[in-house]
Structure formats: C-alpha cells, structure tokens
C-alpha cells in the first residue's frame, strides 16, 4: 500500500500544466454538492484537471511553500526567502508550461521531463532554507504522504456508505452521509470521463485517476470533525 500510494505522490505535476499549478478551477466552478451529472461532465471536459495533489509531490517545495500555506507558515520564512522561492516557483511554472504545450513529447517523455524539473527546483528551494527549516519541511512531507496514503488506500468516498462499518464507527451524521453521497455521484461521473478520454497511455490514466480520487477524498475528509479524523487516522496507523 505504501509503495503504491507513494508512487501516486510523484503524479503531482505529471501532466499538470502551468494553469493547474495556479488554482483548482473545478472546485471553484463546480460545487461538490448537488451538481447535475451532465453539468459536471460539461465543465470537466473544458477545464484542466487539478487537485490537492499539486502540493503533495515529494520534491515540489516551490508550490508547497506558497505564502499562506500551512507549511510556509510553519517554516516562518523571511521576506528574502519568500522572494527567492517565488522566483523559483515562477521558473518552475514556466518550464512546466513549456513541457505541457510541447506536442512533440510522448506522455512518458512529458512525465520524465516534468519530474526532472520539479526535483531540480525542489533542490533550489531547499538551498534557500536553514537546516532547521529543512527538518520542518521534511516533517510536512511525511505528514502529507501519510494523509495521501490513507485517502487513496481507504477510498473514503466509496467506503463511507450509509450503515457501513466505517461510517458507523466514525459516527457519521445524516448530513455528512448526504454530502458524501453527492461526492460519490460526482466521482463516478469523473471516472467515466477519464476512462472516455482518448490518446492517453495507462500511466497518464492512472495519474488522472489518482489526482481525482485524492481531490474527492480530501473533500470528504474536510467534512469530518476533528474527533472523527483522529479516529480514522488512528485506525489507519494500526492497520499499516
């Protein structure tokens, strides 16, 4: 499980264009709750896919340390450090945009080039940090990996069905279950859309699926109470 989902972490920028690095348009333009399937399908087909995974690559420190992000606040970056990282971030976005728009690249070449850029920029960001800040950042990466492992491994969207063992154990309310059902409907539409895309190799399909599962799983996790999240994480730790 750990090996599979850590592999998913490397998808973060793999097939994400520069626009995907700036925002999460699907979350802004299409609500999770109550969106008609046809409307969701239409918007999905015209909006670049993205999601929380964009901040979760092991080396993608340039995006992780955006001003205001939890990791950025925890590191207490100086003004000089923020300026240096901003310059690195803009360089990364420009290079990823060029890779995404290069039609001569195969999907495998695009993934390899993207991974190389993100890794190289991550090293530059690390060089800007103090030794103590690097340690704090490493801790954030571990936390993010654990959260992604749990979300992808548990598939919360499908497992939190009414009267299921997990929903009962967590004490899910009727309101929470209704919201999960809306996300589940949206996720199933998304799966059909991704499976219907043409000219994708298996790795690209897997990347898109993982990004989509993570985005919906994060939405489910966000509606849980602190006590429910603690219980869920504790159960995951005991199993793995």
| Residue boundaries of the structural domains of the chain | 2-239
Q: The tokens of 50 are what?
A: 């993205």
DSSP-derived letter for residue 130 is -
pLDDT attached to residue 66: 87
What average pLDDT does the segment 196-210 reach?
Answer: 79
The answer to which of 94-103, 126-135, 151-160 has the lowest mean pLDDT is 151-160
The more confident residue out of 169 and 11 is: 169
User: Rounded to 5 degrees, what are φ and ψ at 72?
Assistant: -65, -45
pLDDT attached to residue 228: 94
CA gap 215, 27 in Å, rounded: 9
What average pLDDT does the segment 46-55 reach?
Answer: 38
Contact call for residues 13 and 118 (beta carbons, < 8 A): yes
CA gap 9, 119 in Å, rounded: 13
CA quadruple 41, 47, 48, 50: dihedral positive or negative? negative
pLDDT higher than 70, residue 130: yes
Q: What are the residues whose beta carbons fall under 8 Å from the beta carbon of 74, sequence distance 6 or more? A: 136, 140
pTM of the predicted model as reported, rounded to 2 decimal places: 0.61
Average confidence score pLDDT of the chain: 76
pLDDT attached to residue 35: 35
Length of the chain: 240
pLDDT attached to residue 181: 95
Task: Enumerate the H helices of the chain as residue ranges.
Answer: 2-9, 18-22, 25-29, 37-46, 61-64, 70-75, 79-101, 107-128, 131-154, 156-159, 165-170, 174-196, 202-222, 226-239
Q: What is the dihedral of CA 71, 77, 83, 89, to 10 degrees?
A: -20
CA gap 121, 123 in Å, rounded: 5
Angstrom CA distances, 66 to 61, 125, 138, stand at 9, 12, 16
């Amino acid at each position: 499980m750990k090996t599979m989902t850590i592999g998913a972490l490397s998808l973060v920028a793999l097939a994400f264009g520069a626009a995907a690095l700036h925002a999460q348009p699907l979350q802004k333009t299409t609500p999770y709750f109550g969106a008609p399937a046809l409307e969701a399908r239409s918007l999905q087909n015209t909006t670049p896919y993205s999601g929380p995974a964009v901040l979760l690559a092991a080396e993608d420190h340039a995006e992780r340390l955006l001003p205001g992000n939890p990791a950025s606040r925890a590191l207490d970056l100086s003004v000089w450090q923020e300026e240096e990282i901003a310059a690195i971030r803009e360089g990364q976005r420009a290079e990823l945009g060029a890779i995404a728009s290069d039609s001569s690249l195969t999907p495998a070449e695009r993934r390899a080039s993207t991974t190389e850029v993100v890794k190289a920029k991550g090293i530059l960001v690390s060089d800007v940090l103090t030794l103590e800040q690097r340690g704090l950042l490493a801790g954030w990466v571990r936390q993010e990996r654990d959260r992604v492992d749990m979300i992808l491994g548990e598939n919360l969207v499908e497992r939190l069905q009414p009267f299921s063992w997990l929903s009962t154990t967590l004490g899910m309310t009727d309101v929470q279950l209704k919201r999960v059902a809306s996300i589940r409907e949206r996720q199933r539409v998304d799966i059909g859309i991704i499976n219907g895309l043409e000219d994708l190799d298996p790795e690209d399909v897997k990347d898109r699926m993982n990004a989509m599962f993570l985005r919906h799983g994060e939405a489910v996790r966000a509606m849980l109470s602190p006590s429910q999240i603690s219980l869920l994480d504790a159960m995951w730790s005991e199993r793995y």
